[in-house]
Amino acid sequence: MSDISVDLCGLKLKNPTMLASGLIGISGAACVNAAKNGAGAIVPKSIGPQEREGHNNPVLVEFEGGFLNAVGLPNSGVDNSLNELEFAMKNAGVPVIPSLFGGTKEEFGIVAKKLSTLNPEMMEVNLSCPNTANDFGTPFALDKEEAASVIKIVKENTDAKISAKLAPNVPDIKEISVAVEKAGADAISAINTMPGMAINVETGKHILHNKQGGVSGYALKSIAVKCVYDIFEAVKIPIIGIGGITYGKDAIEMIMAGATSVQIGTGIYYRGIDVFEKVSKEIESFMSQENYNNLEEMRGIAHE
C-alpha cells in the first residue's frame, strides 16, 4: 500500500485532500460530515469581523467549464462563529483550519486574534476574494506589499501556522509568493477563483446579481496547476493546490507541480461529499500502479 499521508507545516494529514473554504459553509456539523467522508483537513467558510449578508441572488451559475459564484463572503462574524468552529475542531477528528478575511489590514489582525482563542494549529488568510471589491476595494493578494503587510499583522496576532490564499489574476504570482513568505507565511494556498462573467443571451443581461463572479471547477484547473508550478520555483514553504480538483489524477497533477496537499471545492458538486474518499483512493491506486511509495516521490517531479 502506498503512503498518502502528509506533513503540512507539522500538521499530520492522513491524506492530501482538504475541504476548500466556502463550499459547505461554517456549520460545525457540515465540517464534521466532510471529515467523515474522507477529508484530511477542513477549511470552513471564511470568517470576517462582523456579520455580513453577502450578495443578492443569483449568486451561483453553472457553465460548461464549472461554476461562477459571487456569494460575497456571507458569514455570521467572528464572535458568532466561534461555537460552530469549536464544535468542528472537537469532533472532526482531522485538523480544522479556520479561514479569515477583513476589509482592512487591521480587521485581519482582529479576526486572527479572536480565532486564536480556539488554538487552531493553522489558519488560512483569504487575501483573494474576487467578489467583494465594491465593499473592500482591490483584493490584497493583487499587490505584493499589501499582501505581505496583512500576513505580518496576522502573524503578530496568532501563534497558529498561517497559509496565505493567493489570487490567480496577477502578472507575477512568484513575486507575491516571495513577499508573503518573507512576511512570515508558513504556507501558500493557491488559488482562489478567477474573475469571470456570464450573460443570459435571452435577456442580454448578466446572470449574477453582482454582474461578475469567480470561476471555479474544471476551467480553473490548468490555471491553478501553472500557479502552483510557478510558486514552487519561487518559495520554500509548502503549497496547498486548489482549483478544479475532481479526480485523483487532478490531485496528482497538482502534487507533481509541487503541491504538498490539495483542496477540493466544486468537485463536491460533481462527485458528492465523499469526493475526498474517492480522490484519496484514486491517488493510492495510481501510486501502487506506478510504484510510488509516498507522495514525496511525486512532489514537484514536473520540475525535473
* Catalytic residue IDs: 129
CA–CA dist 244, 139 (Å, integer): 22
Task: Give yes or no for residue 71 binding ligand FMN (CB under 6 A).
Answer: yes
Nearest residue to ligand FMN by CB is: 22
CB of 269 to ligand FMN, least distance (A): 8
End-to-end CA distance of the chain: 26
Task: Give yes or no for residue 255 binding ligand FMN (CB under 6 A).
Answer: no
Neighbours of 200 (CB within 10 A): 10
CA–CA dist 235, 71 (Å, integer): 32
In the block, cell 477542513 appears at 42
**Residue closer to ligand FMN (CB basis): 148 or 275:** 275
**What does the angle CA 247 – CA 125 – CA 7 come to, to the nearest 5 degrees?**
55
Q: Which stretch binds ligand FMN (CB under 6 A): 69-77, 103-111, 169-177, 286-294?
A: 69-77
Q: Which stretch binds ligand FMN (CB under 6 A): 17-25, 154-162, 204-212, 292-300?
A: 17-25
- Three-state DSSP state, 178: helix
Which of 158, 163, 177, 192 forms a contact with ligand FMN (CB under 6 A)?
A: 192
Which of 20, 180, 237, 252 forms a contact with ligand FMN (CB under 6 A)?
A: 20
CA–CA dist 228, 238 (Å, integer): 10
Phi, psi values for residue 10, rounded to 5°: 90, -15
Task: Give yes or no for residue 22 binding ligand FMN (CB under 6 A).
Answer: yes
* Residues at the site binding ligand FMN, with contacts judged by CB under 6 A: 20-23, 45-46, 60, 67, 69, 71, 73, 99, 126, 165, 192-193, 216-217, 220, 242-245, 264-267
